[in-house]
Structure 1
Amino acid sequence: MAIDISGKKFITTVHAYQKMMERSILKEDAVTCIKEGTIIRTYDDSKPFPAYLVSHICKKRTIHVNYAINETEDTIVIITAYEPDPELWDETYTYKVKK
């Protein structure tokens, strides 16, 4: 499923910024993941905006980025970004195998 993100501004929440700094994930890498990655989860009922989880290999590192789209303000809100734990995800990092 492709999501049209053209022309939208990227915003990082305070939580996302803090977590990305802790995890050495640059905003430009998170944006690349959103633009080029594969959506592995959709959260249509997420409030206040629909949200998505995307997976992508960026700079030889698999990253997951959770983001929401605010259509009213033409923004993409980066909620968090992390490296998926191989104990919890399959080898492609697209299917969670443990909770």
Structure 2
Amino acid sequence: MKLIYRQHAVRRMFERRISTADVGAALASGRVIEDYPTDTPYPSCLWLGFAGNRPLHLVFADNPDDGERVIITVYEPDPALWLADLATRKNP
């Protein structure tokens, strides 16, 4: 599947020093932790993966008609917002 990076994702990756290689590693080593089935134009999800020891959250949507995975944003999960598994949100 071809990766397409939204402008927002590219900007955030630059600010956070996250490379396309980091994104690839996270996609290869992770799993979906939340689904957003009503997002448009395609359903999206939140993915937890790792680039080496660095945990990353990626939000992406798949466009199966064009064989594309659209990367919407990428960030390191904030321990103040996530439990130790980095997959479960803390209750507010």
**TM-score, normalization by structure 1:** 0.87
Task: Find the counterpart in structure 2 of residue 57 from structure 1.
Answer: 50
- Which moved further from structure 2: 19-28 or 50-59? 50-59
Instruction: Report the secondary structure of 1:97's partner residue.
Output: coil
CA RMSD of aligned residues (A): 1.1
Instruction: Report the secondary structure of 1:17's partner residue.
Output: helix
Task: Find the counterpart in structure 2 of residue 79 from structure 1.
Answer: 72
Task: Find the counterpart in structure 2 of residue 4 from structure 1.
Answer: none
CA deviation profile, 1:26-64 (whole Å, cap 9, x unmatched): 112112212320110011111000101111222211110
Task: Find the counterpart in structure 1 of residue 85 from structure 2.
Answer: 92
Find out whether 1:45 has 2:47 as its counterpart.
Answer: no
How many residue pairs match? The answer is 92
The unaligned stretches of length 5 or more in structure 2 are none
Identity of aligned residues (%): 33
Counterparts of 1:2-41 in structure 2 under 5 Å? Answer: 8-41=1-34
**TM-score, normalization by structure 2:** 0.93
The unaligned stretches of length 5 or more in structure 1 are 1-7
Runs of 4+ in 1 over 3 A off after TM superposition: none
> Contact between 2:28 and 2:49, CA under 8 Å: does it hold in 1?
no
CA distance in 2, matches of 1:72, 1:28: 25
